[in-house]
Amino acid sequence: MNASRRTNLPKELMDFPDVPFKEELPSFIGHEEMLEYLQDFAIKFNFYEDIQFHTHVEKVEPVAKATLADSDQCGTAGASGMGINDTVQWMVQTRDLEQDTVRGKSMTSS
What's the pTM? 0.57
Domain boundaries of the chain, sorted by first residue: 11-49, 55-109
Q: What is the DSSP letter of 49?
A: G
Predicted confidence (pLDDT) per residue in 35-86, tens digit? 999 999 999 999 898 888 999 999 999 987 665 553 444 444 444 555 556 7
Kindly state the percentage of the chain with pLDDT values over 70: 77
Cβ density class 75-98: b for 16+ within 10 Å, e for less: eeeeeeebbeebeeeeebebbeee
Q: What is the DSSP letter of 105?
A: E
Is the torsion defined by CA of 10, 12, 15, 19 positive or negative?
Answer: positive
Contacts 24+ apart (CB under 8 A), 84-87: 85/110, 86/110
